[in-house]
């Protein structure tokens, strides 16, 4: 990977890590539904003109049904779930559960697409989900004011991402990435429009809250998508997915710097276990002793 590509990868991780901070700062005033709706609406305003400028609107019209599904499962629902979680748990903890998305993706591919995982990937799924269960068990509390439902929301969001990745690969293979990115944000905005009107905050959000949601929409969603697809074009999807491993570090850093959030030993251990499992389950880490070739020798 070239130095410029590595710098863009780190920048993307820093941007997506900051999204958990911005949700934490904006969710209380906007509420989860309005926050998610404004986020995807703003991202659509950034991406749709670029799609038109590239002359790829036809791609959106031809594949709109599948793109609506992606809009629901890759943006509307997970953004809503993470915005809800931001009301109760730290930015760092949300990002750690978000890092389990590739695990869910591998599990969905196994159950739905019948892609039988290798021994290394099966071991990765077991290790990764053990980390998820262990961290959730340590942090979750379903008593009034507890974090239990927030953690469930994070895991539901990660499952949505895992499903969406497989659905995109199955139904939108070869479709222009910009059409999927822009169209999915537009679809998510339309899906959340009426719920957002119904649950719009009774008290007008402050200027700071509007700034947070603007940064979420423009920086963490619209521009981040452009950077992500640029990375895929330059270094390939397998290398671009490495951003998953850096996001929790930046989310914890931003939470510590701006919100005085602490990284507990349980969070550090859980994060390490989840990321180890993710590395094995996605093939980023492939020990020779677990590969068929190594066994054949």
Burial of 199 (0-12, 13-18, 19+ CB in 10 A): middle
Four-point Cα dihedral 235, 237, 238, 244, nearest 10: 100
Q: What is the pLDDT along the chain (297 residues), one digit of tens a residue?
A: 677 888 888 899 999 999 999 999 999 999 999 999 999 999 999 999 999 999 999 999 999 999 999 999 999 999 999 999 999 999 999 999 998 888 898 889 888 988 887 888 888 889 988 988 888 887 777 777 778 899 999 999 999 998 998 898 889 888 888 899 999 999 999 999 999 999 999 999 999 999 999 999 999 998 998 888 778 777 766 567 678 778 899 999 999 999 999 888 888 998 899 888 888 877 777 777 656 554 444
DSSP per position, 214-240 = HIIIIIIIIIHHHHHHHHHHHH-HHHH
pTM for the model: 0.89
Rounded to whole angstroms, how far apart are CA atoms 226 and 80? 22
Classify the C-alpha dihedral 39-246-81-225 as positive or negative. Answer: positive
Residue ranges covered by each domain of the chain: 3-284
């Amino acid at each position: 990977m070239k130095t410029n590509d590595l710098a863009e990868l780190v920048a993307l991780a820093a941007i997506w890590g900051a999204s958990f901070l911005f949700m934490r700062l904006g969710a209380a005033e906007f509420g989860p539904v309005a926050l998610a709706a404004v986020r995807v609406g703003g991202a659509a305003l950034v991406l749709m003109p670029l799609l038109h400028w590239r002359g790829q609107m036809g791609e959106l019209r031809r594949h709109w049904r599948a793109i609506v599904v992606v809009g629901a499962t890759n943006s509307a629902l997970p953004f809503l779930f993470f915005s809800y979680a931001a009301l109760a748990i730290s930015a760092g903890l949300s990002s750690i559960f978000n890092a389990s998305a590739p695990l869910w993706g591998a599990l969905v591919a196994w159950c739905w697409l019948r892609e039988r995982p290798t021994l290394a990937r099966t071991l990765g799924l077991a290790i990764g989900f053990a980390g998820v269960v262990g961290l959730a068990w340590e942090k979750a509390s379903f008593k009034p004011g507890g974090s239990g439902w927030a953690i469930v929301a994070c895991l539901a969001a990660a499952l949505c991402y895992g499903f969406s990745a497989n659905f995109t690969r199955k139904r939108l293979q070869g479709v222009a990435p910009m059409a999927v990115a822009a169209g999915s944000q537009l679809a998510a905005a339309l899906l959340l429009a009426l719920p957002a009107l119904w649950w719009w905050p009774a008290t007008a959000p402050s200027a700071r809250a509007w700034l947070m949601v603007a940064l979420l929409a423009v920086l963490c969603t619209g521009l981040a998508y452009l950077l992500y697809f640029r990375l895929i074009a330059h270094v390939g999807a397998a290398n671009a997915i490495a951003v998953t491993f850096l996001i929790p570090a930046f989310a914890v850093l931003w939470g510590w710097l701006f919100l005085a959030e602490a990284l507990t030993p349980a969070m550090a251990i859980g994060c390490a276990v989840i990321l180890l499992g993710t590395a094995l389950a996605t093939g980023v880490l492939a020990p020779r002793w677990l590969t068929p070739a190594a066994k054949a020798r």
